[in-house]
């Protein structure tokens, strides 16, 4: 069997071969030999693989079969070995030929040595095809050859690795280290494998293959970098375009292909052995003889001789020949001859001479100025200098360019000269200003080139006159600049904020400024027709010199109809000279000459196809030729003016629309009625502020929501079943609906809705008005009407009472007077006196009834003063506790620190008595009677529903009972006079009637709240006072005897009984009494002796002139007279009126006789004009 190290060597061979294949494919793909080397390596790897395969086959199959196959295939195994050898030879081909010689011989030597004695290298192979223990000669020779080649290449690799100048030295060092490491590693692996088999492993075989593969790798990486000097020399000699020949003994020993071609031969071999004199048959160009030339040629002393030779075709060929000995001091080695063909050079020189002659002729005859500068001095100038600049050529030659070049261009010219001479610039064509001899300035374009002038570099300058072109360029540049300015002005005008925003006056000012600047005109203006088209009016005129704007100037249309017609008909009126242009002749005297206008350019401003004005540009410095671009510009400006007018109209329309919308919005939101729209499904589309205020939602919260969201449950059901179908069927709907606001308050709304369409889309436009307050007002009005009717009833009763009070009191006064007189008689028996007292009491009750009637009708005013209502209630309760049944319990809730009121204590006591009496009668079975007081503040809303009250502070008196209560109908009549629910004979019906009247007289308000079975509550509101109520001490009645007197009293009354009774009483007390039954009679009686009357008792209600006029006339006759007014009815206003009119006292019927006597005595005794209180009550 094969030994293990053999298999290891084969594996190493395959591994390194594959690595080299990959390397060459990646790093040297462009090398033409890479493919060949890769193919050889593939063969080697395949061979190694096949050899391994055979080795393993010998284990699996019978050895005889394997060895028989191996015998026939052994020759094939030699082929890969030969290929590997060829690869190595290719890689080392750059090595010198001596090194290659012995390398080529080594394979044969080693092979023969292996055949003769295969054990000399100590390699044995068992199990080869020749039988056990036989050696394999070809394999042993391969190993030996590989070892030697590897050692040689590794030595060369080590030598190159030490060369620091070699760029591959570092890589070669790494390769050496890698080869050693790999070899040692492989050796270790092989030794380990051999140790497992217990056999001996010779290291020499491993060392033979691994370094060999590393050397092959290095050789491939070095391929193409090393070239053999001999190879390089041979290639150079063959490719050089100069003829080379080696002469020995005056014969050609060697020649290159160029020399053969030069002498007319196809191959250099044809020259070998030919004599020099047969080939070089020159005729002398100079004085030298041909023999002498050949001798010097053979001696190697010819240096650059130009001769003409005759080639094999008998054609003369000019050549340049040089010769030199191959080795100095050894003539036997021969001479090296170098020959260059001058045929082409001679042809070029000939053509050049002819060209120079022609060029000189052209230069001299050229019309273009041509000059040559050398060392910054003109050394040549052709004759064109005379025509172009006016100088003679000899006047220019020898002078520097400063003579005719503009001073500002000298430095530029000299810099260009230096750049061209020094080679920094290859071609420059620059414009310069040149002066002619007569001082004119011309623009010249100078093109230069470097020439040889008399063996030294010089600058040839070509002058081209570009004055006209420069002028045209300047005009074009000026036109372009003007167009750019115009375009920039148009763009700036189009984008100006004033034009965009519709500010026409601002746009006109800006347009004129830009036009003046862009067109470089003196004046720019914009004109518009007046409203009646009678004149052109300047909207804005800009003067460029003063930078001032003005407006208002007019051009009457009747003065320039031709100019207007020209503007309408032409694109622009371009009057270059206004004095020669007929189109503007009408403007000459009243516009052009006064404004010193020399040139005018105008263009019509058209709006919707109609001329509405013009744009006008003017020069005041004289005539001016208008260009096409200027005509186009003024037309563009006119379009911008038209746009400005359009924008101004649009802005005005937008402003008007916005104002209209704003007015509508304000109107929409300011209308107190509800305005809204909704779609067919009831979703709100718009609402005004009134809807927002009513429902309490924001506008955003309302829009988009269905109207049914704001209806009561009952109305919501009817919305979809009745309201929407009715709208679709009839196109309208109206009615009253209750809406629910955000705060859940209810609002009654009277609405009217119409179904309309916009752009084919139907929607509902509606309006409504809240009638909650109206309904409430109607309800309140109804209540007020009922109250008014009630008040009118009461007023009628009061009027009735006041109407009969005087007569009734007169009757009562007579009855009372007689009764009092009778009661004063000493002879009256007790029974009669009792009866008289009963009559007197009845008269008192009758008088009290009259007072109640007058009080209710406000015919008897209360005597108001600060009163503490709590004190009055307390006093009344002390009285009531003795009169109220025990089964009725009185509860008192009096507010501490109660405010005072203005009241009459007697009347307030009467109020309390009547209310408590009414409550007592309402609770026959007993109950709780509550009397409470408190301070309250009444606001405007409360007062609005309680007529007669004003907002402010009030004292509240509340009387509650637990009786059977009253229904609503009874409550509505409870304050009516003579209205009662009691049994006949149980009440007069005037108790609550009197209470109502007293409260009214006190400026207060009384209400009643009751329901059947729930008792009744009477609430009284009386205006509060700021100051506290004064505590009044009760006055003790005057029990003394009434005094009489001796004075004269005149009594005036139309009642005979009163006259008789009062006269008797007064006379009984010592007074003298005069009586009169009318005012007229009183005046007549008083006139008979006014100084005799001390006092007048005057009745007001008498026929004739009445008491008022009588009092007035009495005071006129005797201002100091004292008068007591006595009447059956008098309110506080009447009392005040009488006292103010001059009355000294006032007494009300029926009065007590002692009160009358007391009043008479007081008035007589007091000084004049001091009034006395009424003591009749």
Q: CA 573, 578, 579 angle in degrees (round to 5)?
A: 140
- Rounded CA separation 588/990 (Å): 111
Tell me the average pLDDT across 219-241. 58
- Rounded CA separation 973/969 (Å): 7
Q: What is the pLDDT of residue 54?
A: 58
For 870, 982, 990, 1102, the CA distances from 957, given in Å and listed in that order, are 9, 25, 20, 42
Q: What is the pLDDT of residue 101?
A: 45
| pLDDT top residue among 1066 and 121 | 1066
Contacts (Cβ under 8 Å, ≥6 apart) of 813: 1055, 1057, 1058, 1061, 1128, 1149, 1150, 1151
For 172, 213, 221, 466, the CA distances from 218, given in Å and listed in that order, are 7, 9, 5, 72
Beta bridge partners of 322: 338
- Out of 216-230, 251-265, 446-460, which region has the weakest mean confidence (pLDDT)? 216-230
**Which tokens sit at 984?**
């006949």
Read off the pLDDT of residues 925-954 as tens digits, 9 standing for 90 and up: 888 999 999 999 988 888 887 877 889 999
Q: Please give the biggest Cα pair distance in the chain.
A: 225
Q: What is the pLDDT of residue 1075?
A: 92
Whose tokens are 């003795």? That residue is 882
Residue 7 pLDDT class (50, 70, 90 cuts):
very low
Tell me the average pLDDT across 222-233. 49
**Which tokens sit at 901?**
């009121």
pLDDT at 689 over 70: yes
Q: What is the pLDDT of residue 5?
A: 39
- Among 1142, 1135, 1145, 1132, smallest CA distance to 1173 is for 1145
- Among 1074, 1070, 1039, 1050, smallest CA distance to 1126 is for 1050
Name the DSSP letter for residue 570.
S
Whole-model pTM: value is 0.33
Q: What is the pLDDT of residue 618?
A: 93
Residue 251 pLDDT class (50, 70, 90 cuts):
confident
Tell me the average pLDDT across 633-646. 84
pLDDT at 821 over 80: no
Tell me the average pLDDT across 343-364. 73
- Helix (H/G/I), strand (E/B), else coil: 976: coil
pLDDT at 373 over 50: yes
Tell me the average pLDDT across 313-319. 81
438's torsion region: left (phi>0), alpha (psi -120 to 50) or beta? alpha
Residue 254 pLDDT class (50, 70, 90 cuts):
confident
Helices 203-222 and 137-161: crossing angle in degrees, nearest 10, is: 50
Read off the pLDDT of residues 725-770 as tens digits, 9 standing for 90 and up: 888 888 888 888 888 888 888 888 888 888 888 777 888 888 888 8
Task: Give φ, ψ of 584 to 5 degrees.
Answer: -115, 15
Task: Quickly list DSSP for 573-636.
Answer: EEESSTTT-GGGGGGIIIIITTTT--EEEEEEEEETTEEEEEEEEEESSS--PPPHHHHHHHHH
Burial class from Cβ neighbours inside 10 Å (0-12, 13-18, 19+) for residue 867 reads buried
| pLDDT top residue among 479 and 632 | 632
- Among 798, 810, 858, 849, smallest CA distance to 1150 is for 810
Read off the pLDDT of residues 323-349 as tens digits, 9 standing for 90 and up: 888 887 777 778 888 888 888 877 777
Residue 53 pLDDT class (50, 70, 90 cuts):
low
pLDDT at 1037 over 60: no
Using an 8 Å Cβ cutoff, are 1143 and 1123 in contact?
Answer: yes
Q: What is the pLDDT of residue 1153?
A: 84
682's torsion region: left (phi>0), alpha (psi -120 to 50) or beta? left
pLDDT at 221 over 80: no
Tell me the average pLDDT across 154-164. 58
Using an 8 Å Cβ cutoff, are 1089 and 1116 in contact?
Answer: no
Beta bridge partners of 1010: 1016
Q: What is the pLDDT of residue 782?
A: 76
Tell me the average pLDDT across 38-62. 57
- Helix extents (H) in 166-227: 169-197, 203-222
- Rounded CA separation 1147/337 (Å): 184
Q: What is the pLDDT of residue 62?
A: 58
Whose tokens are 């919260």? That residue is 701
- Among 753, 777, 762, 757, smallest CA distance to 673 is for 753
Tell me the average pLDDT across 119-125. 38
- Among 638, 977, 627, smallest CA distance to 795 is for 977
Using an 8 Å Cβ cutoff, are 612 and 645 in contact?
Answer: yes
- Among 1074, 1142, 1079, smallest CA distance to 1110 is for 1079
**Which tokens sit at 101?**
């010689």
Tell me the average pLDDT across 1039-1067. 84
Q: Above pLDDT 70, what percent of the chain?
A: 69
Q: What is the pLDDT of residue 1022?
A: 92
Tell me the average pLDDT across 1003-1032. 82
pLDDT at 611 over 60: yes
pLDDT at 659 over 50: yes
Residue 1017 pLDDT class (50, 70, 90 cuts):
very high
Tally of CA atoms within 13 A in the half-sphere of 703 that contains its CB: 8
**Which tokens sit at 1045?**
């007197």
Q: What is the pLDDT of residue 527?
A: 93
Read off the pLDDT of residues 485-512 as tens digits, 9 standing for 90 and up: 666 666 666 666 766 667 788 888 888 8
Using an 8 Å Cβ cutoff, are 686 and 712 in contact?
Answer: no
| pLDDT top residue among 672 and 1095 | 1095
Residue 200 pLDDT class (50, 70, 90 cuts):
very low
- Helix (H/G/I), strand (E/B), else coil: 281: coil
pLDDT at 414 over 50: yes
| pLDDT top residue among 967 and 1028 | 967
| pLDDT top residue among 72 and 1145 | 1145
pLDDT at 187 over 80: no
Residue 794 pLDDT class (50, 70, 90 cuts):
low
Q: What is the pLDDT of residue 71?
A: 44
Tell me the average pLDDT across 75-92. 49
Which CB contacts under 8 angstroms, 24+ apart, belong to 373-378? 373/401, 373/417, 373/458, 373/459, 373/461, 374/453, 374/456, 374/457, 374/458, 374/459, 376/400, 376/401, 376/414, 376/417
Contacts (Cβ under 8 Å, ≥6 apart) of 390: 436, 437, 438
Q: What is the pLDDT of residue 284?
A: 45
- Out of 647-651, 891-895, 964-968, which region has the weakest mean confidence (pLDDT)? 647-651
- Helix (H/G/I), strand (E/B), else coil: 525: strand
**Which tokens sit at 312?**
């094999």
Q: What is the pLDDT of residue 100?
A: 44
Tell me the average pLDDT across 547-570. 90
Buried/exposed 22-45: b ≥16 CB within 10 Å, e otherwise: eebeeebeeeeebeebbebbebbb
- Rounded CA separation 1134/1113 (Å): 18
- Spell out where 894-987 has E strands: 900-903, 927-938, 952-960
Q: What is the pLDDT of residue 1096?
A: 92
Q: What is the pLDDT of residue 602?
A: 92
Q: Strand pairing of 927-938 and 888-893?
A: parallel
Beta bridge partners of 1024: 901
- Out of 204-213, 298-307, 832-841, which region has the weakest mean confidence (pLDDT)? 204-213
Q: What is the pLDDT of residue 99?
A: 42
Q: Which value, to the nearest 10 degrees, does the dihedral of the CA atoms of residues 1045, 1047, 1048, 1049 take?
A: -50
How many Cβ atoms sit within 10 Å of the Cβ of residue 314? 8
- Out of 362-371, 650-659, 766-775, 784-793, which region has the weakest mean confidence (pLDDT)? 784-793
Q: What is the mean pLDDT of the chain?
A: 75
Tell me the average pLDDT across 517-534. 89
Q: What is the pLDDT of residue 1024?
A: 92
Q: What is the pLDDT of residue 130?
A: 30
The H or E element containing residue 473 is helix 467-495
Q: What is the pLDDT of residue 363?
A: 67
């Amino acid at each position: 069997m094969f030994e293990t190290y053999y298999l290891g060597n084969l594996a190493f061979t395959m591994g390194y071969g594959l690595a080299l294949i990959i390397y060459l494919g990646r790093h040297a793909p462009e090398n033409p030999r890479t493919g060949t080397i890769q193919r050889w390596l593939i063969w080697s790897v395949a061979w190694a693989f096949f050899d391994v395969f055979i080795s393993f086959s010998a284990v699996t199959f019978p050895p005889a079969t394997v060895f028989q196959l191996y015998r026939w295939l052994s020759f094939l195994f030699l082929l890969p070995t030969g290929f590997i050898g060829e690869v190595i030879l290719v890689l080392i081909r750059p090595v010198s030929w001596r090194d290659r010689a012995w390398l080529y011989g080594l394979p044969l030597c080693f092979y023969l040595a292996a055949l003769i004695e295969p054990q000399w290298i100590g390699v044995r192979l068992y199990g080869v095809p020749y039988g056990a223990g036989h050696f394999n000669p070809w394999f042993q020779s391969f190993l030996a050859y590989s070892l030697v080649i590897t050692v040689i290449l590794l030595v060369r690799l080590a030598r190159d690795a030490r060369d620091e100048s070699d760029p591959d030295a570092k890589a070669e060092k790494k390769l050496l280290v890698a080869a050693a490491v790999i070899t040692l590693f492989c050796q270790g692996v092989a030794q380990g494998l051999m140790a497992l088999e217990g056999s001996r492993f010779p290291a020499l075989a491993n060392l033979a293959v691994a370094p060999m593969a590393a050397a092959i790798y290095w050789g491939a990486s070095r391929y193409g970098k090393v070239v053999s000097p001999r190879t390089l020399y041979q290639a150079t000699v063959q490719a050089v375009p100069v003829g080379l020949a080696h002469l020995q003994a005056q014969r050609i020993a060697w020649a290159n292909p160029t020399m053969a071609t030069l002498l007319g031969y196809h191959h250099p071999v044809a020259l070998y052995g030919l004599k020099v004199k047969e080939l070089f048959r020159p005729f002398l160009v100079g004085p030298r003889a041909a023999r002498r030339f050949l001798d010097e040629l053979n001696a190697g002393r010819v240096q650059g001789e130009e001769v003409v030779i005759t080639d094999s075709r008998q054609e003369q060929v000019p050549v340049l020949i040089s010769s030199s000995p191959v080795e100095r001091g050894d003539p036997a080695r021969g001479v090296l001859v170098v020959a260059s063909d001058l045929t082409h050079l001679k042809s070029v020189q000939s053509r050049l001479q002819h060209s120079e002659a022609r060029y000189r002729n052209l230069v001299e005859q050229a019309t273009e100025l041509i000059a040559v500068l050398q060392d910054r001095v003109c050394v040549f100038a052709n004759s064109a200098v005379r025509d172009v600049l006016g100088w003679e050529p000899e006047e220019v030659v020898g002078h520097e360019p400063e003579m005719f070049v503009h001073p500002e261009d000298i430095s530029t010219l000299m810099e260009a000269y230096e750049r061209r001479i020094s080679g920094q610039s290859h071609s420059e064509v620059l414009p310069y200003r040149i002066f002619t001899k007569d001082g004119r300035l011309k623009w010249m374009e100078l093109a230069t080139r470097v020439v040889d002038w008399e063996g030294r570099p010089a600058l040839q300058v070509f002058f081209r006159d570009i004055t006209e072109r420069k002028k045209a360029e300047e005009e074009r540049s000026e036109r372009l600049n003007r167009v750019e300015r115009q375009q920039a002005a148009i763009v700036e005008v189009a984008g100006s904020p004033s034009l965009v925003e519709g500010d026409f006056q601002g746009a006109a000012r800006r347009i004129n400024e830009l036009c003046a600047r862009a067109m470089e005109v003196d004046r720019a203006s914009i004109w518009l027709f007046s409203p009646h088209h009678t004149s052109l009016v300047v909207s804005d005129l800009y003067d460029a010199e003063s930078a001032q704007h003005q407006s208002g100037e007019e051009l009457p249309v009747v003065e320039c109809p031709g100019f207007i017609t020209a503007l309408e008909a032409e694109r622009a009126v371009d009057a270059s000279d206004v004095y020669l242009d007929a189109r503007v002749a009408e403007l000459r005297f009243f516009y052009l000459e006064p404004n010193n206008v020399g040139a005018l350019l105008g263009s019509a401003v058209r709006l919707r196809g109609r001329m509405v004005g013009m744009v006008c540009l003017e020069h005041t410095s004289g005539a001016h030729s208008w260009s096409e671009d200027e005509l186009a510009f003024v037309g563009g400006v006119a379009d911008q003016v038209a746009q400005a007018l359009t924008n101004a109209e649009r802005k005005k329309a937008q402003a008007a629309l916005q104002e209209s919308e704003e007015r509508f919005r304000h109107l929409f939101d300011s209308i107190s009625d509800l305005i809204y729209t909704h779609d067919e499904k009831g979703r709100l589309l718009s609402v005004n502020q009134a809807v927002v205020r009513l429902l309490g939602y924001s506008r955003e919260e309302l829009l988009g929501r269905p109207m049914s969201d704001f209806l009561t449950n009952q109305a919501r059901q009817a919305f979809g079943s009745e309201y929407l179908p009715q709208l679709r069927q009839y196109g309208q709907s109206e009615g009253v609906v209750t809406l629910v606001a955000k705060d859940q308050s209810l609002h009654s709304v009277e609405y009217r809705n119409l179904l309309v369409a916009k752009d084919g889309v139907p929607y509902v436009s509606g309006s409504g008005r809240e009638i909650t307050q109206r309904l409430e007002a109607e309800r309140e009005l109804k209540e007020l009407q009922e109250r008014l009717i009630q008040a009118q009833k009461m007023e009628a009763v009061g009027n009735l009472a006041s109407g009969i009070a005087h007569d009734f009191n007169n009757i009562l006064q007579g009855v009372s007077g007689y009764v009092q007189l009778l009661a004063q008689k000493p002879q009256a028996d007790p029974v009669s006196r009792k009866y008289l007292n009963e009559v007197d009491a009845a008269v008192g009750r009758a008088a009290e009834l009259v007072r109640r009637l007058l009080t209710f009708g406000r015919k008897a005013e209360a005597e108001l003063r600060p009163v503490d209502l709590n004190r009055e209630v307390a006093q009344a309760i002390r009285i009531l506790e003795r009169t109220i049944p025990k089964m009725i319990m009185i509860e008192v809730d009096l507010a501490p620190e109660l405010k005072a009121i203005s009241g009459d204590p007697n009347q307030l006591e009467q109020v309390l008595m009547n209310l408590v009496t009414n409550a007592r009668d309402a609770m026959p079975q007993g109950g709780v009677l509550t009397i409470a007081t408190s301070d309250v503040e009444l606001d405007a809303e409360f007062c609005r529903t309680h007529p007669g009250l004003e907002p402010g502070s009030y004292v509240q008196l509340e009387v509650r009972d637990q009786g059977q209560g009253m229904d609503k109908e009874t409550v509505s009549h409870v304050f009516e006079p003579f209205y009662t629910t009691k049994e006949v004979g149980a009440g007069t019906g005037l108790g609550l009637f009197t209470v109502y009247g007293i409260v009214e007289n006190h400026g207060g308000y009384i209400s009643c709240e009751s329901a059947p079975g729930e008792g009744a509550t009477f609430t009284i509101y009386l205006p509060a006072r700021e100051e506290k109520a004064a505590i009044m001490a009760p006055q003790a009645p005057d029990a003394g005897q009434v005094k009489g007197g001796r004075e004269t009293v005149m009594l005036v009354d139309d009642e005979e009984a009163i006259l008789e009774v009062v006269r008797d009483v007064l006379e009984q007390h010592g007074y003298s009494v005069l009586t009169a039954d009318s005012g007229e009679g009183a005046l007549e009686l008083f006139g008979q002796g006014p100084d005799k009357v001390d006092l007048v008792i005057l009745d007001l209600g008498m026929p004739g002139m009445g008491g008022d006029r009588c009092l007035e006339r009495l005071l006129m006759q005797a201002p100091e007279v004292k008068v007591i007014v006595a009447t059956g009815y008098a309110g506080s206003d009447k009392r005040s009126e009488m006292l103010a009119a001059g009355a000294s006292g006032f007494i009300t019927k029926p009065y007590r006789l002692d009160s009358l006597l007391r009043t008479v005595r007081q008035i007589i005794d007091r000084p004049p004009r001091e009034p006395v209180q009424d003591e009749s009550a």
